[in-house]
Structure 1
Amino acid sequence: MVKPFLPSQRFIETEETIVRRVHQNSLPWCNPALRILNWNIAKNNRAAFGSHQRVRSWLSEFAAILERYNPDLIFLQEVRLCAETQHLGELTDMGWNFAPNFIDTYHNCYAGVLTAAKASCLTRKAVKTQHYEPVTQTPKVSLVVEYPFPTSAQTLLTINSHLINFVDLATFKAQLHALEGAIAPHTGAIIFSGDFNTWNRSRWLMLAGMAGRLGLTQAKFPPKDAQNIKRFLLSPPLDHVFYRGLHQNMIHAKVLNHAISSDHKPMIVEFSGEM
């Protein structure tokens, strides 16, 4: 029996790059209200590992969420873009930016974070960690994308992050420090969203301290919804949405507990039009 070829190194760090899809009809938002979706989709629900039924489940849930909530901005973590298949067909009406942090050479897939929007972006930048996670020996990546906003001469800066895991607090703090440096110069509105891996109090306090220094407010969910945000036992939540420049205008926040295709639940946050 011939053994299948396996690469000598399965996970390889990518160059600091961004894969971009520009939608030809993308325009600045005409409606000043803003609705966002944040979701760690668990590597497209382990799409690269042959679980076709679960992939179909994720695609079905994702399509239903887009139809029901029609978000203006989408922040996804653990996204896989594979050579053989495309799992972003539901984003045909949006432009998106994808920042990979590694290539899975066995399945020929990129993995990383993706930000999609109805508006055309102004700038985009990937912020990779200098340290590696011990299992894959690859860094983590955040995606910083800037958009025009209709109700203000200033712009909206979005940060889609997946924070480093399985490392000590000093390494975790180093990633936060790099992100703070990327965010701090911006004087306009901010949305900072993602899977922050705040599975203990020390990590959460570091993140909260950074948010405080940047003047960010944490999006608050109703108690029943907040219970459904991804945690480890009695840990703080892992997924968060922070914002600035939209103060006192968050009008709705919901966790979609009915979604079962990922072990993280989708989060919907809606803001009114006043900035």
Structure 2
Amino acid sequence: MLFFSNGCLIALEKNKFILILVMPNIQEHVNTLLTKFIPSYRFIRLQELTIDKTNSLQTEINSKSIKVLSWNIAKQNYNKTWLKDFSKMIETYQPNFIFLQEFSLKLEAKEWAKWLQMNWSFAPNFVDIHHQTYSGIFTASTINPINKKVIITKNYEPIVKTPKISLITEYLLSEQNTTLLTVNTHLINFVDLNKFKIQLNELEQVLSTHQGPLIFSGDFNTWSRKRAIILNQAITQLRLKPVIFAPDEKEKIKRFLLSPPLDHIFYRDISVKKASAKVLDQICSSDHKPLLAEFTYTNTQKN
């Protein structure tokens, strides 16, 4: 992972920071250098909004136990170690919802993980022609969504010139006259604060129309205090609350240097079950750690 700070290019590799260059026009030099290795035609946008797979016939989720797993997997889902970690988590925690960011899907193998007995939707934001893979957001659930919507940023991240994507899905809750809206997102990186704010504002406009329970989860790239403040403003406007992790758990969440956490789970009109919020620090197949939480909902619940 690369970061720019005070004219320096810093690489994060195996939890070690390596200073690569120090020069006044670092962004210009890095763009020129990397363009030689990442040609403009390598990444292309897609026409299809989602790739979907139905595996479960359930029609409702038990509103008294809504288990969530959120994880930036750093495109490791074809890695044998990652697959072992992932299958073990599914077996142990049995989540109702899985929100993965930086998910990869090979062009010739859309039938990924046939053993995963869940319904899933994959929203790609680009195709990598060189590696013949899709990349994007992956949402799995024990029931089919009744609605889904994909939001792709109009602004692109620099160098590779790719957008960021969010997948919004809506589900029926058991014995309740309401629906649960879930949002799996990956916020834009390496751009100015205004472009970061534009993506959040667009999500805020869509989410504000939903009146029932809501889960907003993913990698928010809040690696600076200013980004964290902008996110907090949007969350407050939407009347959302953050899942609170115990102090020793919170320290395990992915950060950059001394930054705020990058990964979050927010919610509204549901309750977090006591002691359910966990960060799985023993999982090392991605540089991000999986986040877990369990919620409950009753039709008399108020925020």
- Give the TM-score normalised by the residue count of structure 2: 0.82
Tell me the secondary structure at the aligned position of residue 143 of structure 1.
strand
1:98 aligns with 122
> Does the 8 Å contact 1:251/1:271 carry over to 2?
no
2:172 match:
148
What corresponds to 2:291 in structure 1? 267
SS across alignment from 2:161? coil
What are the residue-to-residue correspondences of 1:1-275 with 2, within 5 Å?
A: 9-15=41-47, 17-30=49-62, 32-44=64-76, 47=78, 55-85=79-109, 88-89=112-113, 92-247=116-271, 249=273, 251-274=275-298, 275=301
Cα distance, 1:273 vs. partner?
4.7
Contact in 2 for aligned 1:26/1:95 (Cα 8 Å): no
Contact 1:161 1:194 in 2 (8 A): yes
Unpaired runs of 5+ in structure 1?
1-5, 48-54
Distance (whole Å) between structure 2 residues aligned to residue 199 and residue 168 of structure 1: 13
Q: Counterpart of 2:266 in 1: which secondary structure? A: strand
- Structure with higher Rg: it is 2
SS of the aligned residue for 1:136 comes to coil
**Once the 2 structures are TM-superposed, how far is the Cα of residue 250 of structure 1 from its aligned partner?**
5.6
The whole-number CA distance in structure 1 between the counterparts of 2:225 and 2:175 is 37
Q: Is the 8 A contact 2:56 2:118 kept in 1?
A: no
Deviation at 1:30, TM superposition (A): 3.8
Residue deviations 1:99-123, cap 9 Å, x none?
1101001111110001100012100
Cα displacement string for residues 120-141 of structure 1 (whole angstroms, at most 9, x for unaligned residues): 2100110000100002101100
Q: How big is the alpha-carbon RMSD for the aligned residues of Structure 1 and Structure 2?
A: 1.9
Task: Give, in angstroms, the shift of residue 185 of structure 1.
Answer: 0.2
The CA distance in 2 between the partners of 1:244 and 1:98, in whole Å, is: 24
| Structure 1 residues 18 and 86, CA gap change in structure 2 (3 angstroms) | closer
Distance between the aligned counterparts of 1:8 and 1:197, measured in 2?
A: 24
- SS of residue paired to 1:44: coil
- What do the CA deviations read for 1:190-215 (whole angstroms, capped 9, x no partner)? 00000000000110111111010101
Q: Residue 227 and residue 151 in structure 1: after superposition, are their counterparts in 2 closer, same or farther (change >3 A)?
A: farther
8 Å CA contact 1:255–1:267 kept in 2: the answer is yes
- Secondary structure of 1:177 counterpart: helix
Extract unaligned runs of 5+ from structure 2. 1-37
How far, CA to CA, are the matches of 1:44 and 1:26 in structure 2? 29
Whole-angstrom CA distance in 2 between matches of 1:125 and 1:61: 29
Q: What letter corresponds to residue 94 of structure 2 in structure 1?
A: N
Q: Which stretch has the larger CA shift, 33-42 or 243-252?
A: 243-252
The two structures have a TM-score, normalised by structure 1, of: 0.90
Aligned pair count reads 262
